[in-house]
Chains A and B, each alone.
Chain A
Amino acid sequence: MKDQNIKAIQEGDSKGLQQIYTDFLPRIRRLITNNGGREEDAQDIFQNAIIVIYEKASSKDFKLTSGFYTLLYGICRNLWGNRLQKKSFKEVTIPEDIKYKSDDNIEADLEKIEEQNLFWSSFKNLGEDCQKLMRLFFDKEKMEKIAQMMGYSSVSYAKKRKFQCKEKLVALVKADDRFDELSNRDH
């Protein structure tokens, strides 16, 4: 039987996600703030860990071999450890806890998550109209339908508008400092 927390994440179930926040955020917050992090870091790490779990749970090979909290804690611990390392807090070591030790390749996860966060935050910086249009576009709706749903006068205008919105999205992504950082890492 599938873990109910994993199910809530996979389905984006509001109540289930609310429960995850209520049950586990305080403990993760303690982990982060007791290890040099701030509230904002704790929120970032918690959110990123849930996305990592969503990604993992979406793969065919995924099998929850421990409790949900063990998985969440392990991921958060590694994400935070990695971030600390980047910040060059060289003297910092998070105490090892064999119980929560994760053997996953967190580097790859982290890089992917950072890139995805960049796309998401850029997307959110678009105006509502462009967000709506781009959602339809990314969902592969036909241009005729997009024009109709957006209330545009023609398909050619919908195409033009789609280009303008995407161009803006690309510009926002490229203007972000994280983009250069991630691009440099690729090369």
Chain B
Amino acid sequence: MSREELYHTIEQYLDKQLDAKSIAAFEDRLSKEPELRQEVELHRKMQEELGDPIKRNLRSKLDQLRIEHTLEESDHKIVPLKPRVNWMKVVSIAAGVLLFGFLIWLLVIKEPVNNEIVEQPKEEEEQKVPPSKEIIKEEPNPIVQDETPEPKENEKPSIKDPIKTPVQDAMASLIPNPLFENLVSQNGIQKIFEFSLKDPKDWKIPVQADQSIAFHISGDLKTTNPEEETKVMVNVFNNKAIDSDIAQATTSFSLPVVKEVIDDNDEEELAFAEKSTYYFNLDKNLKLTPGLYYYTLILEDNPRVLYCNKFTVTKE
């Protein structure tokens, strides 16, 4: 049973769409295969959680509110938890450390210490502070003004993350994605499916008044693949996509292709036609925000990228 068939059976089982005989057979498998039981349970829980449209809506809104309120309410200081301090213990440890330090000083006084080398790990340590998303402004917050101002021994300095401005966001959306840049550079390597497109090299598409862009591609595909029907898909990715897997695509649509018809009477041409040629000419309005995008051409039944190129969506 392939993974696809397994998923289908699990979904049918959870939706109670299997007949009595199939249920019995599947439950027999469930009783013997703990891994399958786990898989079914995972699908059930995912359906339960992600199949509630109200909750999805609630979560989306909470995510949005979180962003808004983190930016608005970030001008506070983090108050470290007050440790229960045993002062006697602290004083005795401090005295011990001083004594030890004094002994070390006595021992190494003849070899001056290179300050830079000593300082280095300290700097590294500071950089290793756990990443924090909060943005801390300079002004003190009245809420915590009365809290201990002195840094505690176990207090880690907060990294002041720069506030992301719209300009920085816009710049981030234009950073080239190495994975896709590599795919772009590989165009023309494919020999079985050879795409020739008339898309411009430095392609910029402006956002129109209705917030969409006019995406146009035309060209041809020459293939030695004997398949009767060739179905091509276009997948569009933003510059943050982590792989060219269709599951990462921002949008995806089919590319209608028309096969070149060879005159049946021209026997010579028919005999020597090693490649079939398909033509395409597509105009499509896409809802995309300004930024750098990549698009890939793949066959419906094969995720391998056959062609990749990029375009930049610009403001009106």
User: Please, which residues of chain B bring their CB within 8 A of the CB of A104?
Assistant: none
CA distance A182 to B125 in the complex (A): 32
CA distance A120 to B197 in the complex (A): 39
A138 close to B81 (CB less than 8 A): no
Chain A, residue nearest B56 (CB): A135
Chain B, residue nearest A50 (CB): B62
Query: B102 interface residue, CB < 8 Å from A?
Result: no
Q: Considering only CB atoms and an 8 Å cut-off, how many residues of chain A contact the other chain?
A: 61
Query: A59 interface residue, CB < 8 Å from B?
Result: no
CA distance A164 to B69 in the complex (A): 36
A51 close to B58 (CB less than 8 A): yes
A33 close to B78 (CB less than 8 A): yes
For B62, give its contact among A17, A128, A164 (CB under 8 Å).
A17
Query: A75 interface residue, CB < 8 Å from B?
Result: no
As a 0/1 sequence over residues 20 to 33 of chain B, the CB contacts with chain A under 8 angstroms (1 = contact) are 00000000000000
A9 close to B49 (CB less than 8 A): no
For B133, give its contact among A17, A40, A51 (CB under 8 Å).
A40
Query: A82 interface residue, CB < 8 Å from B?
Result: no
A43 close to B66 (CB less than 8 A): yes
Which residues of B44-69 are within 8 A (CB) of A?
45-47, 49-51, 53-59, 61-63, 65-66, 68-69
Question: Can you list 21 A-B pairs, Cβ within 8 angstroms, ordered by A?
Answer: A12-B57, A25-B69, A36-B80, A36-B81, A38-B134, A39-B70, A39-B134, A120-B49, A124-B63, A127-B250, A128-B251, A138-B46, A138-B51, A152-B254, A153-B231, A160-B300, A163-B3, A163-B8, A167-B247, A168-B245, A169-B247
The 3 closest A-B pairs by CB, nearest first: A36-B81, A39-B134, A168-B247
